[in-house]
Amino acid sequence: MALGHPPISVQKKLERLWQRTELLRTLFSRRMLVALIMGFAAGLPLLLTIGVLQAWMKDAGVDLTVIGLMNLVQIPYTWKFLWAPLLDRYSLPLLGRRKGWLTAAQLALIAAIVLLGFSNPHTHFGLMALAACLVAFFSATQDIVIDAYRREDLADNELGLGSSLYIYGYRLGMLLAGGGGLIMADHMSFSRVYFIMALCLLPCLVTTWLTPEPPAVAGTPRTLKEAVVAPLVEYFRRPEAVWMLAFILCYKVGDTMASAISTPFYLDIGFSKSQVGAVVKLFGFWATIAGAGIGGIMILKLGIARCLWLFGVLQALSTACFAVLARAGDHLPTLAGVIAFENFSSGMGTSAFVAFMASITNKKFTATQYALLSSLMGMPRVFASAPTGFMAKHMGWEGFFIFCTLIAIPGMLMLMKFAPWNAARAATDY
């Protein structure tokens, strides 16, 4: 051993200490805090036009068919890839390309949420529908810019940790809007709930102003053709491109349809809004987080293909459990068990599904192609969810959830083409 050098064991300990210090420094950096807060900003508006709005309409005695059709206000989430190239191509003055668009989207989003709170299912239903559409549109626009900002602000080796913090922030936003919103609605008017939710976005707006504009290292698109046509042409030249899109549409359709009308279901079988907020939203939140975490570990061990099979089966079984709950009625332990299983399996399924979509994007066009795939992923939440109120009304809750279980079968069968069980890495060949 050379004189002046520390022993090997001491050197390794010093290296590990340095790595832990670097990890902590990265974890508590400005970039990670911004990723967390921006995730919160993206997650909060979503349930304001789904679960909370459904509870408001249910309280007001709106027909179940109309409640189901209100899911159509989510259409902007499914078409956001259409105007995403405009946000890449053009910039707003003063704050920069990303911060300028993000500031405009957040200001408009706050105003739209306040407008939604001023509406009423009885006297201003048209205004409610318009305000809900505006919330969805500006929220989808915010998502586009946040995704672009996060990719440009984080270094390549920080993307994994930054994405995890973004997801946690997203779930916290959903938890506040869904769980907190329903609990508050038991003690105050829905109008006041929406006003409070709008105020909760103000810290996110301040964060946008304070955080620096990320450098455009790769440059900006010079034409709209360069921004949108080239990545689409590359994707659709693949021989199985259309089939892959069909698979993405079908894989989670049963799970999505069941959850789309779940809030009126819980209230209809006898649970209070506080019980729904506490058990379904708060308890379910932690089950989803656990499922996503364990799902990520299992993907590392088993691969994407086999996890799509396993988690798909679990998703279908958890949907069938809602039929059991429909027969059990307002039995709180049964509700807790069903919610734990459903959210846990949904978290696992989502982790595998998102990994699959990322694996089939061309690295040269990841942003645009992933925007297309994620928009397509959201379509069942809008179009397949729209008739759920009509179906539940005429099929009964038990029959409806059995149907949602069976409709998951086509997506599972498509796995034989894209992700066969004996070829665990088939989904990552693109």
Domains of the chain with CATH codes: 11-216 (1.20.1250.20), 221-430 (1.20.1250.20)
As a whole number of angstroms, the distance between CA 19 and CA 269 comes to 53
Query: Residue 421: what pLDDT?
Result: 75
pLDDT of residue 306: 84
Closest by CA position to 276, among listed 254, 290, 259: 259
Question: Hey, which residues does 383 pair with through a beta bridge?
Answer: none
CB 147 within 8 A of CB 16: no
Cβ count within 10 A of residue 90? 14
Identify the pLDDT of residue 196: 95
Amino acid at residue number 18: W
Q: Is 396 left (phi over 0), alpha (psi -120 to 50) or beta?
A: left
Q: Quote the DSSP letter at residue 60.
A: T
User: Inter-axis angle of helices 159-175 and 284-302, to 10 degrees?
Assistant: 150
From CA 136, how far away is CA 73, in angstroms rounded? 7
Instruction: Write out the two tokens for 128.
Output: 């409610």
Which pLDDT belongs to residue 116?
A: 94
The pLDDT of residue 427 is: 41
pLDDT profile of the chain (430 residues), mean per 10: 58 65 73 89 91 88 85 85 81 84 96 93 88 95 85 68 73 86 89 95 95 76 75 78 82 83 87 81 77 71 81 90 90 89 84 71 60 74 76 90 90 79 50
- CA distances in angstroms from 232 to 67, 140, 371, listed in the order given: 35, 20, 11
Could you tell me the CA-to-CA distances from 369 to 77, 308, 360, 372, 415 in Å, in that order? 15, 21, 9, 5, 21
Q: C-alpha 429: how far from its chain's center?
A: 25
Residue 401 contacts residue 323 (beta carbons within 8 Å): yes
Distance, CA of 108 to CA of 355 (rounded, Å): 32
For 61-134, list the strands marked E by DSSP: none
- Give pLDDT, residue 291: 78
Rg, Å, the chain Cα set: 23
Tell me the C-alpha distance between 198 and 344, whole Å.
Answer: 30
| pLDDT at residue 173, as a whole number | 92
Nearest Cα to 241, choosing from 12, 22, 418?
Answer: 418
Helices (H) and strands (E) in the chain, counts: 24, 0
